[in-house]
Chain A
Amino acid sequence: MNDQKIDDILKQAAQAPGQVDPALLERIAGAIQSSLRPVRPLPPAWVLSLGLVLVCVAVALAGAARSGFYGIQKMTDLERALIFPALGIFMALAAMACVGEMIPGSRRPVAPGSLVAGGSLALAAVFAALFHDYQTAHFVSQGLVCLAAGLFYAVPAALASWLVLRRGFAVNAAAAGLVTGTLAGLAGVTMLELHCPNFEAPHVMVWHTAVILVSAGAGALVGRWRRMRTGDAPSGSR
């Protein structure tokens, strides 16, 4: 039996009339009519994505301005030319993914999990290619300081991102949380690259990249928790 034959059988089976009670349709129409008002559609995806990137860059710059731009001052031109564009590309992809998760039926070029894993690995690879000091003095103590600082700035970035996307509706709250957490984590990492003068390869590869992973994980947990708690009510209306 070929696919065409299966198609024909499916079409024949699907031709049976859908049985929807007309009274139910009237009831639905009645329920809608009582609250029917014009609504303003969401802005284009690129506007929302740009808004998210600007918010994250602003948070990172504000954090570095508060703590000092020691990292970027110590970097060579090559390091600056590779690290910040890499962060920018990752941030743009994460912002587009965030917007896609908040608009039902959007195109999804990359799965959220692949974005986090692939992006983090790519970033770690850039760090590995640029930094060749393999000392691990104070690896944990200094690492925890950077992780905490990165996450500290990821929180306002996540809140601001939520504000930008508050009118959206996530059909998969955990995935939306994951990509929002990733984006917020990237704001934290950008702040660290501007600020942190510790260029030991293990430190940068492990602890700076960990900000993204921890933030993404926390975002996914928050999304999941919200869904369980609220039944995934839309985050905004009209």
Chain B
Amino acid sequence: MHADAPLESLMARYQQGDFACATALIHRLSPQLHRYFVVQFASRRDADDLLQETWLRIHQVRHTYRPGEPVLPWFYAIARHIRVDHYRRRSRAAGREERLEDMPEPAALPTVSGGTPDLETLLAPLSDSQREVVEMLKVAGMSLEEVARATSSSVGSVKQKAHRAYEKLRERLSGLGLGGERAGDASSTGGAS
């Protein structure tokens, strides 16, 4: 029953204390939130911790969601806050050398079926903010307006980040020989805007 229900109505029922809807939200949104953390260079274990922390925070501030508003920007804004907090705590606790050691090696290029690098590897050369924008647009399926809300920025800024991310991805994929055709389609902005 809850599998196909809109996220907004599940959230409204969760606010009313419906445990089945809360569980449905957890099962539907956790994989993409988990991936959001993994894509941001968190280890699987860190991503598990961040996911748990995010849901506890979501539970604590669930009254701040206003029924009728898009729900994904609300979830991602909180997940982003948890991730930034985690990064700050970790930066304070560990030295720079240690953080660099923890970063995955982009040259390893683990692949999914079809020889395409997995998402984390694919997005590795992007900056944090570009990776975040691409993940929200292409994995979470959010609109530009929703990404702007989740990242507390403007639609123009999101478009610019996505455009720059696509430029980097184009170079990266062409270098890997995955493009088929060479770069030069800069006029085609459908994916990034």
Contacts and interface: CB of A to CB of B under 8 A. Distances in A.
Nearest to A16: B112
Interface string A1-23: 11111110111111111111100
B68 to A, nearest CB: 9
B181 interface: yes
Interface residues of B, number: 76
B30 A20 contact: yes
A106 interface: yes
A67 B57 CA distance: 45
A234 B173 contact: no
Interface in B6-28: 15-17, 19, 22-23, 26-27
B48 A36 contact: no
A237 B30 contact: no
Contact of B30 (A6, A7, A28, A41): A28
A31 B22 contact: no
Q: Which of A14, A25, A32 gathers the greatest number of chain B CB atoms within 10 Å?
A: A14
Q: Describe B's contact surface by its main secondary structure.
A: helix
Contacts of B173: 1, 5-6, 9
B138 A10 contact: yes
Nearest 10 CB-CB pairings of A with B:
A18-B31, A3-B191, A105-B73, A1-B179, A2-B185, A105-B74, A104-B77, A171-B81, A38-B17, A2-B188
21 contacts: A1-B174, A1-B185, A6-B191, A7-B190, A10-B134, A12-B112, A13-B112, A13-B119, A17-B31, A25-B30, A32-B59, A38-B17, A41-B63, A45-B66, A103-B64, A104-B64, A104-B65, A104-B74, A104-B77, A105-B75, A234-B60
